Structures are given as structure tokens and as C-alpha cells.
Structure 1
Amino acid sequence: MNTSQEAGNNGRIVRRYEYDDSWVLAADIGAAAGDVDVDVVGRTAIVVAGHGDEVTEVEFELPADDATVETRNGVVTIEVGV
């Protein structure tokens, strides 16, 4: 397993775990579940999060197109089989 972690300029943590047969991204976006929308189109994940009057959208590429998405307590988890 390979692991990487980043903290953006807003201090939010993003961790990526690479296993032999899957890839997992966990991002603490700090928003309530109702304020987060995640769409996966092909190999692109689009995360839209609302914080009060501010809306943030982030897109990133996935290693495959069979992703599952879960949002819980302000953490978005995307798992992809490779």
C-alpha cells in the first residue's frame, strides 16, 4: 500500500491510498453532507461544496471509471478499482 497526504492552503487534509487492486481518496472538505455534491463522469470526479454563501468546485482525474462515492461528516471518500 502506498499513502500520500496533502494539506491545501485552506488547511483541509486529502489522503490517497493505493492498494494492489484499488485506489481510495479521502478528503476532509468540512461541509455538512447536504452541502456536498459529488458526480463522477467517466474518469473525472467533480466535487461541489457549499460553505455559507461560498461554493467551491474541484475536479480531478481518477485512475478508472468504476468509482464509488460516500460522504460522511464532511469527509468525501472515493474508491476506484484498478
Structure 2
Amino acid sequence: MQQFTGGNERFIRRYEYEDSWVIAADIGLSEDEIDVDIVGSTAIVVADVGGRTTETEFELPAGGDADVFVNNGVLTITIQK
């Protein structure tokens, strides 16, 4: 499934597995440039690049604990069912 976020045409992919959901977003930023908070079923992504801060929120599937990783410009959130 693809969901477009904002006007930058970056998309989020959501994959469903037997025991988890995986959300992958192409953000093009390093781990040092981004902060992700999970509040309930909402992911709040704050990016700070060159002194400019932007914030994006998106809904996550209902589930348990969430693990957040940033690798090679891709934000990955894994939510256990």
C-alpha cells in the first residue's frame, strides 16, 4: 500500500506480516537529522536539516511495541501484533 505524505511526494509503504506490521518511508535523511516519537498509534517525525525543522505525523496500525530504525535514508517502524 502506498500513502502520499505532504507535497514532497515521498511515500510510505506498509507491509503486513503474520506477527508484525512494517512501515517504510523514504526520507532521504540520516539518523542524526531525524527524531521519531510514537504516541499511541501516531508516529511524529521531526527533521532538522540545515537549521530548518519540519514535522510530519501519520497513523500507524494498531498493535503493540514499536521499533524505529533509520538506515540509508529509509525510516522503518516495526509494530508487533
1:38 equivalent to 2:36? Answer yes
Unaligned runs of 5+ residues in structure 2 are none
* Aligned counterparts of 2:9 and 2:56: Cα–Cα separation in 1: 16
Q: Amino acid of the residue matched to residue 58 of structure 1?
A: T
Number of equivalenced pairs: 79
Q: Amino acid of the residue matched to residue 22 of structure 1?
A: S
Supply the RMSD in Å over aligned alpha carbons. 1.8
* Aligned counterparts of 1:7 and 1:59: Cα–Cα separation in 2: 12
Identity of aligned residues (%): 54
Please list the CA deviations of residues 9-61 of structure 1 after superposition, one character each: whole Å capped at 9, or x if unmatched.
Answer: 31323211012221110001111220000111232221111232332211223
Match of 1:58 in 2: 56
Matches within 5 A, 1:1-82: 4-8=1-5, 9-62=7-60, 63-82=62-81
Structure-2 change in CA distance of 1:6 and 1:41 (3 Å): closer
